[in-house]
Amino acid sequence: MLLKPGEENHEYWFMFNGIDKVLHLSIFAALGFFFMAAFPKIRFYYFIQIILIYAFLTEILQEEMGLGRSMENLDIVADTIGCLIGYYIYKFLVKRFF
């Protein structure tokens, strides 16, 4: 989804201005959650570095691949917030149920 050509994004009834930020946040929340599930003992410092490098790389690739997508700073903000949400949901669930 992050590298999908921009021309393929059609208008649907559920589309609204800023939906791409919601998608970025959701994708990175899932990524953060599953990353923590796969590597539960990783330090937060390393976790955030790896996720942010991935976020920056996807934004750079969006710009450079010429598929009608562009690099946006707010996407990186949404990615960061999403990965933090995923991280804290994982930590909450582990603390609550395990």
List, for residues 30-76, the tens digit of each pLDDT value. 999 999 999 999 999 999 999 999 999 999 988 888 777 788 899 99
The pLDDT of residue 66: 77
Full domain range(s) for residue 86: 19-97
Asked if the structure places residue 33 within a domain, the reply is yes
Asked if the structure places residue 87 within a domain, the reply is yes
**Number of domains forming the structure of the chain:** 1
Q: Which pTM value belongs to this model?
A: 0.84
Asked if the structure places residue 14 within a domain, the reply is no
Asked if the structure places residue 37 within a domain, the reply is yes
Asked if the structure places residue 9 within a domain, the reply is no
Distance CA 37, CA 97 (A): 14
What is the number of residues in the chain?
A: 98
Asked if the structure places residue 35 within a domain, the reply is yes
Dihedral, 75, 69, 36, 29 alpha carbons, nearest 10: 50
Asked if the structure places residue 7 within a domain, the reply is no
Average pLDDT of span 71-84: 94
